[in-house]
Structure 1
Amino acid sequence: MLRVEGLESQYGDSRILFGIDLAVGRGEVVTLLGRNGMGKTTTIRSIFGLLKPRAGRVWIDGEDMTGRPSHLVARRGLGLVPEGRQVFPTLSVEENLLATERGPRGAKWTLEAVYRLFPRLKERRRNGGDQLSGGEQQMLAIGRALMTNPRLVVLDEATEGLAPLIREEIWRCLQAIKREGEAILVIDKNVDALARFADRHVVIEKGRVVWSGTTEELRRAPQVKDRFLHV
């Protein structure tokens, strides 16, 4: 589904990524882990064409999409839940969702399907985006990405700043999305929660992949968490 090879990116004269390799297969959940400032968001921005890589390749279903505009990346089947949620504040919940609606007749992710996944959004459907709690905004951001009917959902900081109960609700919804067969690439700091439903993990440090493996391999390697993930 998604393959990234030797990705290098920079902001101005500051190099951030130094050859990132990762892949996400169909229906697979892969995490991108690392401490703050290690290059996770830059990796996502480079995949989506929001930052043009200086080297490397991004392949989606075998097509080279390196540096292509973000709307073309989305059309190839990638849906983004960005860091900070970035919902449209002056649009209602329903208008936010309909703004990104895309897919053939009979597509899986419709307005009603998103409302079934997030009943709270249906209750708040007439409220403006700026009238929602942080957790509700995150649900809306996920729902908005699903309305594009993606084959891969990418979440940058899935539960950052959310209360524990809301975090658990987000994890349950991501598990439901996985059961629907969607591939997921997720950034989050809650390694234990991610390990409950992720298939593989990629750890980056200072713009380089320093470890990758399955959930079982991560459980057997506590030194990885101690060295690269603990603050």
Structure 2
Amino acid sequence: MSMLLQVEGLEASYGAAQVLFGMSFEVETGRVVTLMGRNGMGKTTTIRTVLGMIAPGAGRVVFDGVEMTGAPSYRIAQAGIGLVPEGRQVFPTLSVEENLIATSANRFAADPGWSLARVYDFFPRLRERRTNMGNELSGGEQQMLAIGRALMTNPKLLILDEATEGLAPLVRAEIWACLERLKGEGQSILVVDKNVDALEKLADAHVIVEKGQVAWTGSSAELAGDPTIRDRYLSV
């Protein structure tokens, strides 16, 4: 498999407060990789730095063979990264359909590409609610919309920050089933979430973050086979 995302020695700060201390990990094409760790360990900061929202103090970000370190966010998005942000952040005064088409693009001639019809087939509830405003949706519907909006950019890499945070159990199960389907279609995914059991079933590889550094990395089998890893890095 080819290497899609390479993060090497990434450092980042908020003002004088350094948060990332040499973050390094990789995402291969067609694979699902997680970023896990307790709150405040640097997972979201890592994503924001990869996406150009925070200027790195050191390190490199290479996406699909192209150096992206310090590039503006719009260029990184145009290169083929789709984000489902923490808190969903749908456009509240646009309809479901307007949210989906607002940033739609198929820059790489994906076949089949993501279209309104395909997103509605993937999330039938969005078809039912297509004329509703973003602020009229439930949390689960907003998360489906945020995923659909990212898919409408036809991303090479889909990044989800807190994929199921604050959602009801049945809705969480629907989101995990959605991600499993995307994986089956060969979609490359980087996902942040706290549901270790679901991530173990879904992902090919895991990166555990502790105080802005990679504390452990390995496969689902390795994670499941060593319960001390959860106790050490993931238990509250």
TM-score (norm 2): 0.96
Determine if the alignment matches structure 1 residue 29 to structure 2 residue 15.
no
8 Å Cα contact 2:96/2:145 also seen in 1: yes
Distance 1:105 1:80 in 2: 18
Q: Structure 2: 5+ residue runs without aligned partners? A: none
Tell me the CA shift for residue 119 of structure 1.
0.5
Once residues 230 and 73 of structure 1 are traced to their aligned partners in structure 2, the CA distance between those partners, rounded to angstroms, is: 34
CA distance in 1 between counterparts of 2:30 and 2:115 reads 19
In 1, distance between residues paired with 2:225 and 2:210? 20
Q: Is the 8 A contact 2:93 2:135 kept in 1?
A: yes
Task: Work out whether 1:38 is the aligned partner of 2:36.
Answer: no
CA shift for structure 1 position 14:
0.1
* Counterpart AA for 1:162: L
**1:24 CA drift (Å):** 0.5
Q: Which residue type is aligned with residue 201 of structure 1?
A: H
Cα distance in 1 between the residues matched to 2:26 and 2:46: 12
Q: How far did 1:116 drift? A: 0.8
| Partner of residue 192, structure 1 | 197
Match of 2:177 among 172, 180, 205: 172
1:51 aligns with 2:54: yes
Counterparts of 2:71 and 2:179, CA distance in 1 = 28
Deviations 1:102-125 (A, max 9, x none): 004855211111111100000000
Match of 2:9 in 1: 6
SS of 1:121's equivalent in the other structure is helix
How many residues end up aligned between the 2 structures?
231
Instruction: Say if 2:10 and 2:56, in contact at 8 Å, map to a contact too.
Output: yes
Who is 2:226 aligned against? 221
2:104 counterpart SS class: coil
**TM-score (norm. length: structure 1):** 0.98
Alignment check: 8 A CA contact 1:157 1:186 kept: yes
Structure-2 separation of matches of 1:207 and 1:179: 31
Q: Name the CA distance, whole Å, in 2 between partners of 1:114 and 1:179.
A: 16
2:140 paired with 1:135:
yes
Quote the offset at 1:62 in angstroms: 1.2
CA contact (8 A) 1:107 1:149 kept: no
- Relative to structure 1, the CA distance from residue 171 to residue 212 in structure 2 (aligned partners, 3 Å threshold; closer, same or farther) is same
Instruction: Write the deviation string for residues 82-121 of structure 1: whole angstroms up to 9, x where unpaired.
Output: 0010000000000000001100485521111111110000
Q: Tell me the alpha carbon deviations over residues 20-74 of structure 1, each in whole angstroms, 9 at most, x when there is no partner.
A: 0011011100000000000000000000000010000000011110111111111
**Cα-Cα RMSD:** 0.9
Name segments (4+ residues, structure 1) moved above 4 Å: none
**Separation of aligned partners in 2, 1:175 and 1:190:** 15
Matches within 5 A, 1:9-20: 9-20=12-23
Q: Which amino acid aligns with 2:226?
A: A
Contact 1:158/1:188, CA 8 A, preserved across alignment: yes
Q: What's the counterpart of residue 70 of structure 2?
A: 67
Residue 111 of structure 1: aligned partner = 116
Q: Which amino acid aligns with 1:196?
A: K
Aligned ranges 1:75-94 → 2 under 5 Å: 75-94=78-97
CA distance in 1, matches of 2:190, 2:203: 9
Q: In the alignment, which of 123, 126, 134 is matched to residue 121 of structure 1? A: 126
Unpaired segments of 5 or more residues in structure 1? none
